[in-house]
């Protein structure tokens, strides 16, 4: 009996191994997955039509999903390079990257658009590349790129904005005044007078001297901060310096050690107050410039981003 059972167990093990070998060498059955519906090359049939991809990208753009929208616009341009909307898709992909703050990636996409045989696409791309440097606050690069902008009027308009960013307000006035004298400035005519007025206001923009702020605080602790409009900080600085200095003077005869410690604190805060006042003047000037820039950008009827921002599909082949 035991021998029979042993033989039976060996046969079962053998059959199990054989079955395992059979399973391991059999051809795997193909499994359909969602991944198979995504394109691999332009020859692959896409699960969605071009109109569906473009509409989905537009929906993502409207929802503020700019990174995802850029991918979908690029998908459309890749799958349908001969479509009348291909260049429009590239433009929207670049705009999506701008909205997402990825200006380097936007320039790469505009560079693809610049390779289009259509002169209109090249004109769009040249302007948006220069503008992307302005949006990134790389004013020197933006100015260099102006030589590549196909439309002279658009290049001059963008140059005026670069001068505003560089605080060259007199140069900005000259540029905008020249644009207003040209007959081809109809696209931005409603903004020229406003920009000239703002540039003149920029010349009178309040400014604080770091040297004067430091000297005022050296004369009266906190006065330099008040000069920069920070009267709360001025009062605090006066107290922080004045209290230990007064204690040092009052206790000088009674406790020299305590007086020395207080005097050391007073000297430390006194010097820090001078340095802080000078730095506060620089911060004041930066804040005023940023406020001037953001207000100008928000209130102008035609900000630079409005130009070359719409490329209708029905005219993409023009």
Higher pLDDT, 161 or 7: 161
Break the chain into its structural domains and give their ranges: 50-188, 210-299
As a residue count, the chain comes to: 318
Which of 29-38, 49-58, 284-293 is predicted with the least confidence, judged by mean pLDDT?
A: 29-38
Higher pLDDT, 27 or 305: 305
Whether the CA torsion 118, 124, 125, 126 is positive or negative: it is: positive
> What does the pLDDT look like over 120-143, one tens digit per residue?
999 999 999 999 999 999 999 999
pLDDT value at position 253?
A: 77
Q: How confident is the model at residue 39 (pLDDT cuts 50, 70, 90)?
A: very low
Read out DSSP for 164-208? Answer: HHTT-HHHHHHHHHHHHTSTT-TTTHHHHHHHHHHHHHHHT----
* CATH topology for the 50-188 domain: 1.25.40
Quick check: 108 and 125 in contact, CB under 8 A? no
Count the neighbouring beta carbons within 10 Å of the beta carbon of residue 14: 10
Q: What is the mean pLDDT of residues 208-218?
A: 92
Single out the residue of 286, 273, 276 nearest to residue 207, CA to CA. Answer: 286
């Amino acid at each position: 009996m035991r021998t029979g059972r042993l033989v039976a167990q060996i046969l079962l093990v053998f059959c199990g191994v054989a079955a395992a070998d059979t399973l391991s060498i059999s051809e795997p059955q193909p499994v359909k997955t969602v991944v198979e519906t995504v394109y691999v090359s332009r020859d692959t049939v896409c699960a969605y039509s071009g109109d569906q991809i473009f509409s989905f990208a537009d929906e993502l753009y409207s929802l503020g999903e700019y990174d995802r929208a850029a991918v979908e616009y690029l998908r459309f341009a890749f799958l349908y390079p001969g479509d009348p909307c291909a260049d429009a898709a590239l433009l929207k992909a670049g705009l999506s990257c701008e909205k997402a703050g990825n200006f380097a990636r936007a320039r790469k996409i505009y560079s693809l658009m610049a390779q289009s045989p259509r002169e209109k696409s090249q004109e769009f791309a040249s302007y948006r590349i220069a503008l992307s440097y302005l949006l990134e606050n790389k004013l020197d690069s933006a100015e260099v790129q102006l030589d590549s902008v196909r439309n002279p009027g658009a290049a001059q308009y963008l140059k005026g904005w670069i001068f505003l960013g560089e605080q060259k307000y007199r140069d900005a006035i000259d540029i905008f005044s020249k644009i207003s004298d040209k007959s081809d400035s109809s696209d931005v005519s409603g903004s020229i007078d406003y920009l000239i007025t703002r540039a003149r206001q920029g010349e009178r923009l309040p400014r604080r001297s770091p040297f004067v702020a430091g000297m005022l605080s050296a004369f009266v602790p906190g006065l330099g901060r008040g000069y920069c409009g920070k009267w709360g900080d001025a009062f605090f600085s006066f107290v922080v310096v004045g209290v230990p200095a007064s204690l040092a003077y009052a206790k000088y005869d009674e406790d020299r050690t305590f007086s020395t410690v207080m005097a050391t604190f007073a000297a430390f805060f006194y010097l820090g107050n001078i340095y802080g006042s000078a730095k506060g003047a620089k911060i004041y000037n930066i804040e005023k410039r940023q406020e001037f820039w953001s207000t100008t950008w928000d209130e102008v009827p035609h900000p630079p981003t409005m130009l070359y921002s719409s490329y209708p599909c029905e005219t993409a082949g023009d």
